[in-house]
């Protein structure tokens, strides 16, 4: 498929990094279109483990072009660190294989600071953000007071705009939050060199991606977070501040949606969520702890323990439907080995009424109860299995059930962190 979008169909952390890394082998251009360094994609190559926050995982494949699109909130210090870290490990990163949108917005230190202060202000209503300044940066973008990457390339312009921005932020920090203001001189000094260091990578990436598509190149759009964290369609206000679904591609990559050829969702064989907010199938008990321990469910960015629960077909069906997914991929099926019985959320009781559709319009999930189907588990370790027919019958039946319940074909099953630990689902 000339253009392909891969997105998370749960609350993030679906194991997209590994799948995208695999797909990147067949892609010419890999594009991040939303989010920022709140994301953490883990890729395991042989003995090496890479955690990428901003740079698309295609960077680990020679011959690909990796694009950070205009919809990404870029912390330039994190980006430079990531470039340096990859280079130290022998990964080639040049202006040829890394492209950065000149119109992407910049996350400054004051955004990170305000992220933390706002969380404190919200008290019990806190979102549980990653503290990376994501919300405050996107808020400034919408308020038209933000700075873009192109502003960093001209120190005079940056000085003027940063001075104005920080004056307002310092008033907020001092007068609302009662904290010491940030030093303009320190902020200016911190970012003075940044523009120069990034200059070579910066360009009109929307045009570059459209040109590549027109030239017949394979384009892979890589979603971060998950659809249930989407600003419009997720569990607002416990969401991130960008369009995490396929909808984000159009604005965040500058790519016409009518040219998107294939859409694939990714969801775990169970479910996790990090941070606060609704999680209907959560297991706040020993089983949840067991899933967290076996699945190593700790945030790649913050190290926070993830909340864990059973697969929720209602939520995944909603995500796949909303994004028009042609297919989806089940990850971490190996984690379920050894459970005597598994439960799959099939429908919700909403105020006592049974519904199959996710109640997206509700302000909260209070009064929502998940109805489960109980299915027998399997005991075999399946992490070494590479062919569908070699999976235990009960594991196949489990995947078949998920496919039935979501109404969308399962294209692949992942059974371990390694690049090759996948099983194609025959048709």
Residues of this chain that interact with ligand IMP (CB under 6 A) are 12-13, 38-40, 127-130, 132, 134-135, 224-225, 229, 238, 240-241, 274-275
Cβ contact 134:35 at 8 Å? yes
Kindly tell me which of 128 and 203 has the beta carbon lying closer to ligand IMP.
128
CA distances from 32 to 59, 70, 213 (A): 12, 9, 16
Residue 89 CB, shortest distance to ligand IMP, in Å, is 22
Residue 243's closest CA among 133, 130, 319?
Answer: 319
Kindly tell me which of 128 and 359 has the beta carbon lying closer to ligand IMP.
128
DSSP-derived 3-state class of residue 406: helix
Residue 173 CB, shortest distance to ligand IMP, in Å, is 18
Kindly tell me which of 82 and 208 has the beta carbon lying closer to ligand IMP.
82
Q: Which residue has the tokens 């991040």?
A: 32
Residue 344 CB, shortest distance to ligand IMP, in Å, is 22
Cβ contact 242:252 at 8 Å? yes
Kindly tell me which of 12 and 416 has the beta carbon lying closer to ligand IMP.
12
Residue 96 CB, shortest distance to ligand IMP, in Å, is 28
Set 21, 41, 53, 312: catalytic member:
41
- Rounded Cα gap, residues 138 and 146, in angstroms: 8
State yes or no: is 262 an active-site residue. no
Instruction: Give one word for 347, left, alpha or beta, with left for phi > 0 and alpha for psi -120 to 50.
Output: beta
Helix (H), strand (E), coil (C) string for 260-271: CCEEEEEEECCE
Cβ contact 56:24 at 8 Å? yes
Residue 296 CB, shortest distance to ligand IMP, in Å, is 14
| Residue 302, phi then psi, degrees to nearest 5 | -110, -10
Residue 108's closest CA among 192, 177, 40?
Answer: 192
Kindly tell me which of 30 and 385 has the beta carbon lying closer to ligand IMP.
30
Kindly tell me which of 162 and 231 has the beta carbon lying closer to ligand IMP.
231
Cβ contact 21:57 at 8 Å? yes
Residue 27 CB, shortest distance to ligand IMP, in Å, is 21
- For the record, the structure tokens of 276 come out as 């606060």
Residue 320 CB, shortest distance to ligand IMP, in Å, is 18
The string of DSSP codes covering 291-359 is HHHHTT-B-TTT-PBPEEE-EEHHHHHHHHHHTT-SEEEEE-GGGGTT-SEEEEEEEEEETTEEESS--
Kindly tell me which of 13 and 347 has the beta carbon lying closer to ligand IMP.
13
State yes or no: is 177 an active-site residue. no
Residue 73 CB, shortest distance to ligand IMP, in Å, is 9
Residue 151's closest CA among 102, 80, 101?
Answer: 102
Kindly tell me which of 54 and 202 has the beta carbon lying closer to ligand IMP.
54
Residue 412's closest CA among 351, 311, 334, 331?
Answer: 331
Compute CA 356 distance to the chain's CA centroid, rounded to the nearest angstrom.
Answer: 26
Instruction: Report the residue number whose CB is nearest to ligand IMP.
Output: 275
Q: Which residues are catalytic?
A: 13, 41
């Amino acid at each position: 498929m000339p253009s392909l979008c891969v997105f998370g169909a749960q609350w993030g952390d679906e194991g997209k990094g590994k799948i995208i890394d695999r797909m990147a082998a067949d892609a010419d251009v890999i594009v991040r279109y939303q989010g920022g360094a709140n994301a953490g994609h883990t890729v395991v190559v042989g003995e090496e483990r890479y955690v990428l926050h901003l740079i698309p995982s295609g960077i680990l494949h020679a011959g690909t072009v990796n694009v950070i699109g205009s919809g990404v909130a870029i912390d330039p210090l994190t980006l430079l660190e990531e470039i340096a870290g990859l280079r130290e490990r022998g990964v080639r990163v040049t202006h040829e294989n890394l492209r950065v949108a000149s119109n992407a917005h910049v996350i400054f230190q004051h955004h990170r600071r305000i992220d933390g202060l706002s969380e404190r202000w919200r008290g019990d209503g806190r979102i549980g953000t990653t503290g990376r300044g994501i919300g405050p940066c996107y808020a400034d973008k919408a308020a038209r007071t933000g700075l873009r990457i192109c502003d960093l390339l001209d120190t005079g312009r940056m000085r003027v705009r940063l001075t104005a921005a920080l004056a307002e932020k310092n008033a907020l920090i001092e007068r609302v939050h009662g904290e010491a203001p940030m030093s303009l001189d320190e902020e200016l000094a911190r970012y003075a060199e940044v523009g120069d260091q990034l200059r070579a990578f910066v360009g009109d990436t929307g045009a570059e991606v459209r040109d590549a598509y027109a030239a017949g190149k394979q384009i892979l759009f890589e979603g971060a977070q998950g659809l249930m964290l989407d600003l419009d369609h997720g569990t607002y206000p416990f969401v991130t501040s960008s369009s995490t679904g396929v909808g984000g591609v159009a604005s965040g990559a500058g790519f016409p949606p009518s040219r998107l050829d294939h859409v694939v969702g990714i969801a775990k064989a169970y479910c996790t969520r990090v941070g606060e907010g609704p999680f209907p199938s959560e297991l706040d008990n020993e089983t949840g702890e067991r899933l967290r321990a076996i699945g190593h469910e700790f945030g790649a960015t913050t190290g926070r323990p993830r909340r864990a629960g059973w697969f929720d077909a209602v939520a995944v069906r909603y995500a796949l439907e909303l994004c028009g997914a042609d297919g989806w991929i089940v990850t971490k099926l190996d984690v379920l080995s050894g459970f005597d019985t598994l439960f799959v959320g099939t429908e919700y009781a909403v105020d006592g009424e049974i519904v199959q559709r996710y109640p997206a319009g509700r302000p909260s999930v209070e009064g929502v109860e998940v109805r489960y189907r109980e299915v027998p588990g399997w005991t075999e370790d399946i992490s070494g299995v590479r062919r569908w027919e070699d999976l235990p019958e009960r594991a196949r039946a489990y995947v078949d059930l998920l496919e039935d319940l979501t109404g969308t074909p399962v294209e692949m099953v992942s059974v371990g962190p390694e690049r090759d630990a996948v099983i194609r689902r025959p048709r």
